[in-house]
Structure 1
Amino acid sequence: MSQKEKPSKDILEKWHKDPDNWKLGVFYYNKEDKRILPPKRMAWAGWTVNFANSISVAVFVIVIIIIIGITMYLPK
């Protein structure tokens, strides 16, 4: 598959169901998957981070920093 080609739904489903793409059963790690926030293992539970995608990890870190920053500056 070329860089500009989007994977089909069948390929996305195959990646999602492949246990080798889930480290410790909860961390999604797939270098081929370019989605920033793929669905969690149980799709009804929301989305997760693709730890093989640097943009996805950057978004995760930024969100954590924002949450920490907000909680530090909330009035007590």
Structure 2
Amino acid sequence: MEIDPVDNIVNYKIGIIYWNPQDSRLFVPKRERSMGYSLNFAHRLNILILAVITALVVYTVVYLQ
């Protein structure tokens, strides 16, 4: 029986950040499935998503005061 990579504690940094370059999914279910989804921080598209979120926050703080 093969274990789901999400359930393997080795794929977590600091215990909470999912990092698995072999996993092609961008959004992965959390270890506690009822808690929703998390990002695979090793996925290349994740950099773009975090940059857009950061840009939106900076724009909001700077221009919408």
Same fold (TM over 0.5): yes
Q: Which amino acid aligns with 2:15?
A: G
Q: CA deviation at 1:44?
A: 3.4
Q: Gaps spanning 5+ residues in structure 2: where?
A: none
| 1:71 maps to which of 56, 61, 64 | 61
Q: Gaps spanning 5+ residues in structure 1: where?
A: 1-10
Q: State TM-score, norm by structure 2.
A: 0.73
What is the CA–CA distance in structure 1 between the aligned matches of 2:10 and 2:63, rounded to whole Å?
A: 41
Higher strand share: 2
Correspondence for 1:38: 28
Q: State TM-score, norm by structure 1.
A: 0.65
| 1:50 maps to which of 32, 40, 45 | 40
Which sits farther off after the overlay, 60-69 or 39-48?
39-48
Q: Which amino acid aligns with 1:56?
A: N
Helix, strand or coil: the match of 1:41? coil
What is the CA–CA distance in structure 1 between the aligned matches of 2:54 and 2:36, rounded to whole Å?
A: 17
Find runs of 4+ consecutive structure 1 residues off by over 2 angstroms: 39-49
